[in-house]
Amino acid sequence: MARVISIANQKGGVGKTTTTVNLGASLAASEQRVLIIDSDPQGNATSSLGFPRDPSRRTLYQAMILGEPIERVTIDAQIDRLELIPSDKNLVGAAVELVAMDNREYRLKEIVNRIREKYDYVLIDCPPSLDLLTLNALAASDSVLVPIQCEYFALEGVSELLDTLMRLRRTINPSLSIEGILLTMYDDRTTLSKQVAADLKSFFGSQVFETIIPRNVRLAEAPSHGMPVMFYDIHSKGAESYIQLSKEVIANAQKRVGAGTERTDPGPGAAAAAAAGATSGSSSVGNAGSGSSSGGSAGADAAPDAPVDTDGEPTPG
């Protein structure tokens, strides 16, 4: 039976879609049966897998709102063992139409439960907000993977998300756990990125993945070619990192099966409290412009005059 993982963070531009697509492709390359659900009306996961906008294509909207059989919505992602439930702009209306529906928080869960036996992993790309679409995704999930860009507001943003997860555990999905916190757009040439990574690991401990996703030109270029980075340039640092992340996700799943329990997880409440304390100034958070603060003061963007990325190519502006 599939493990259902939402990739969620209410902040935009932290690498949710990049993580969904590239983790999904890497899991499929590891002979796992994977379904990606594009739950973001922007449809970036859909286009990143090589499917341009097509008004005639059935999407998650038809399945959630119009009751279309999920088999008629699911498409082959043109990668072995990887399938996709696409999205488009019509999904914007779903957030409004769901309000008047019965069991509005569980519409996606009903869909996922019908197909769980077909896959090993179901990855849900969430929109950059905590709306009904994200709520549906979290209600349907076993766990949530939180990408965090190494920047000043990282701890502040994740504390809000984890506080929401704590409430969801009490009301909608008591079994929801933290799959892991993933550091993205990491630039090891900047002191600030290193300080944010160190602070996040000190606050969240084992919940932070060992794998860190670097700031990488190949990762930025791959979606424009409609393919995951491992098919665009498997030797790039970005591809290597997501392959390593997939191994870590699989290893964690095997540990759960072996132990008969979920991954050790003190709960979103404890993590949210730690993050809230960090952003309130109780940790070593300093002035964002000082360049010497730790944790919340780090900016993810590489310095404008930084000459190259980890692949030795010009860093995009």
Tens digit of each residue's pLDDT (9 = 90 or more) over 231-281: 999 999 999 999 999 999 999 999 988 766 444 444 444 444 444 444 444
The average pLDDT across 141-159 equals 84
Predicted pLDDT of residue 301: 41
Percent of the chain with pLDDT over 70: 81
Number of domains in the chain: 1
Confidence check: pLDDT of 201 > 60 = yes
- Contact criterion met (CB below 8 Å) for 136 and 108: yes
124 part of a folded domain? yes
- Contact criterion met (CB below 8 Å) for 206 and 306: no
303 part of a folded domain? no
pLDDT, greater one: 284 or 47: 47
Stretch (H or E) spanning 3: strand 3-7
* Lookup: tokens for 69: 């059989």
Q: Determine the 3-state secondary structure of 19 from DSSP.
A: helix
CA dist 145 and 293 (Å) reads 26
- Closest by alpha carbon to 133, among 160, 105, 112? 105
Report CA 92 to chain centroid distance, whole Å. 20
Confidence check: pLDDT of 162 > 50 = yes
Predicted pLDDT of residue 200: 87
Q: Determine the 3-state secondary structure of 54 from DSSP.
A: coil
117 part of a folded domain? yes
Helices (H) and strands (E) in the chain, counts: 13, 8
Stretch (H or E) spanning 121: strand 121-125
Vertex 129, ends 249 and 12: CA angle to 5°? 70
CA dist 69 and 3 (Å) reads 21
Vertex 65, ends 11 and 144: CA angle to 5°? 35
* Lookup: tokens for 61: 């909207």
The average pLDDT across 125-134 equals 91
Weakest mean pLDDT among 95-99, 136-140, 161-165, 191-195: 161-165
- Closest by alpha carbon to 124, among 146, 141, 106? 141
- Closest by alpha carbon to 180, among 239, 121, 125, 249? 249
Confidence check: pLDDT of 86 > 90 = yes
162 part of a folded domain? no
Per-residue pLDDT band for 158 (boundaries 50, 70, 90) equals confident
CATH code of residue 34:
3.40.50.300
Predicted pLDDT of residue 161: 76
Predicted pLDDT of residue 260: 62
Confidence check: pLDDT of 107 > 60 = yes
276 part of a folded domain? no
Confidence check: pLDDT of 294 > 50 = no
Predicted pLDDT of residue 303: 40
298 part of a folded domain? no
218 part of a folded domain? yes
Predicted pLDDT of residue 196: 86
How many Cβ atoms from other residues are within 10 Å of residue 93's Cβ?
12
CA dist 236 and 138 (Å) reads 32
Confidence check: pLDDT of 3 > 90 = yes
The average pLDDT across 14-35 equals 97
Confidence check: pLDDT of 133 > 80 = yes
Q: Could you tell me the residue range of the domain that residue 124 belongs to?
A: 3-147+176-187+206-263
102 part of a folded domain? yes
